[in-house]
Structure 1
């Protein structure tokens, strides 16, 4: 029983340590997985995993390992920010794989991509035919950025010479039956106003809502459970 308690305790400490480290290092460690970031994630997970199941390793060793690895990552991040020449090696660099509508075969081979994989990446960006792409850039995190040829680009308001329209973000007011008070205040409304609006739409209380959002142009949108 004591052994299971120790494993659980080590896991909690390891999780907290990794969470704090991720907060310090920033969101790019999660959202932009470069080759270096991938190695970092593997090593950190391995450190905690080995520490949990190795009886000779205690909490101090876990935290020390996380601290040292975190310092190494932080130092390398500083180096890449200050010394531009280190970025291609440590972070990689984008690669143009379609240039003026033509596939650059050498760049495909260099990045270990075949045509099927290229088509898959293009489809993820809404491009279902290679002929639609004017430029395609393989980013350092493995994603692709695509600039379509002019005939395949959707028309814009500017194309039709329409007046510009202000862009406003919708504000989530209710999520899973829970009222988000700070968003309601940010919108400039009160709970009594929301209750009145809901009654006009035949909803008894916000607790019956799966989701509700406010948009200045379109008003209140609600969806019940």
Structure 2
């Protein structure tokens, strides 16, 4: 029994790191832009590792070979789609214009197996509750809809309102779940004492009492306690 547990632990560890390495090699698009092809790839890779764990007749070396070979295939297809534009529509599909000049393109909906209820659901995810607000809608290859609103309901830009330009800064998280993030202090070139002094000034006894704290240049601290 102990040997079985040890063997299972080794297989899980190797499978985990093999998939992790493969994900790093293939890039973040496997997660953030899940096309039908990417979805199939994820299922196959998961199934390969599952076979190694639960099927004693399949050796781990064969599964690792299959993972690497499958990863090479995916990488090769990514290279093909980058080099040969004509292959993209077949291998990765292409965006579809489902709303044009405020009109729903019914034929495009049918072609992409999308009904009106699904279209309204996708629009609501973009904070659009009526088709009348939409000038153009594009069904992306990952299944989401990108929306260009009509001018009367579109959000005005700072340039439209003639707001003077200001520099933009990223907020830096200093405390998370009661723990000080050392790397953030190094970015700000500050010491722990600077942060704890700021907490004391606000009547907070220490970092352990803080759920979340961040620093934003020009605006200062945002601190939330438990």
Q: Under TM normalisation by the shorter chain, which class is it?
A: over 0.9
Within 1, Cα distance between the matches of 2:185 and 2:89? 45
1:6: how far off? 2.2
Q: Which residue of 1 aligns with 2:128?
A: 127
Residue 162 of structure 1 is matched in structure 2 by 163
Q: Does 1:215 align with 2:216?
A: yes
1:83 alignment counterpart: 84
CA apart distance, 1:74: 1.0
Distance between the aligned counterparts of 1:222 and 1:115, measured in 2? 44
The CA distance in 1 between the partners of 2:156 and 2:69, in whole Å, is: 52
Per-residue CA distance 1:58-89 (angstroms, 9 max, x = gap): 22112111111111111111111111111111
- The number of aligned residues is 225
3-state SS of the aligned residue for 1:49? helix
SS at match of 1:122: helix
Partner in structure 2 of residue 113 of structure 1: 114
Q: How does 1:34-183 map to 2 (within 5 A)?
A: 34-183=35-184
Indicate the RMSD between aligned Cα atoms, in angstroms: 1.2
What is the match of residue 187 of structure 2?
186
More deviation in 118-127 or 42-51? 42-51
Give the Cα–Cα distance (whole angstroms) in 1 for the partners of residues 30 and 129 of structure 2.
31
What is the TM-score of this pair, normalised by structure 1? 0.96
Q: TM-score, normalized by length of structure 2?
A: 0.95
Q: Per-residue deviation at 1:168? A: 1.6
120-129 or 57-66, which deviates more: 57-66
Higher deviation after alignment, 202-211 or 138-147:
202-211
Moved over 3 A (4+): none
Query: SS at 2:138's partner residue?
Result: strand
Aligned to 2:31: 30
